[in-house]
């Protein structure tokens, strides 16, 4: 019975986690939680320390990639290092402010916040509106690229979890 519950928990967390990622919510960590819950319910028969470390590493990599892409694209589109920080800060603030709007509020808030933060920080540095707008646009592109990368990592976590379940 615990195997069935474990598989259902793993599937629910996997699908739910993938759906949360585009919303700017911690979907990878929901997937990790599902993997650990499955292990706990099945007395860790199919999860070793190595498999748990791999799943955790993939989730941490997703967070690092998300931060790095925001910086990279803000700079690639003409912004300074400050624009990268602005994109990061603005994205977090925007996601929090957007939460009261159901479902899409945090997504819209994160994109608008990334644009606004990068543009504001860049304008404060360069005093050029065209450069600030370019940096803001880069931050938006970076945020979209980060969501795509995290979804890809989520799929890897999902496949890895499935292989661990089937390996038993």
Q: What is the pTM of this model?
A: 0.79
- Count up the domains in the chain and report the number: 1
Residue 1 pLDDT: 64
The residue segments making up the domain with residue 145 are 2-167
Give the model confidence (pLDDT) of 73-109 as tens digits.
888 888 888 888 898 888 888 888 876 777 678 788 8
DSSP the chain: -HHHHHHHHHHHHHHHHHHHGGGTS-HHHHHHHHHHHHHHHTTTSS--HHHHHHHHHHHHHHHHHHHHHHHHHHHHTT--HHHHHHHHHHHHHHHHHHTTSTTTHHHHHHHHHHHHHHHHHHHHHH--HHHHHHHHHHHHHHHHHHHHHHHHHHHHHHHHHHHHHHH-
Give the model confidence (pLDDT) of 22-80 as tens digits.
877 789 999 999 999 988 888 888 788 888 999 999 999 998 888 788 778 888 888 88
């Amino acid at each position: 019975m615990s195997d069935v519950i474990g598989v259902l928990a793993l599937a629910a967390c996997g699908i739910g986690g993938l759906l949360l990622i585009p919303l700017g919510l911690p979907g990878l960590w929901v997937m990790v939680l599902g993997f650990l819950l499955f292990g706990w319910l099945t007395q860790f028969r199919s999860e070793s320390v190595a498999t748990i470390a791999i799943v955790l590493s993939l989730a941490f990599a997703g967070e690092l990639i998300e931060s790095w892409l925001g910086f990279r694209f803000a700079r690639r589109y003409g912004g300074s290092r400050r624009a990268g920080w602005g994109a990061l800060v603005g994205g977090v603030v925007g996601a929090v402010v957007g939460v009261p709007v159901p479902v899409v509020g945090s997504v819209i808030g994160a994109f608008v916040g990334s644009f606004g933060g990068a543009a504001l920080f860049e304008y404060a540095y360069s005093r050029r509106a065209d450069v600030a707008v370019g940096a803001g646009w880069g931050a938006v592109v970076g945020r979209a690229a980060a969501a795509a990368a995290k979804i890809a990592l989520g799929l890897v976590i999902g496949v890895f979890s499935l292989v661990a379940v089937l390996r038993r």
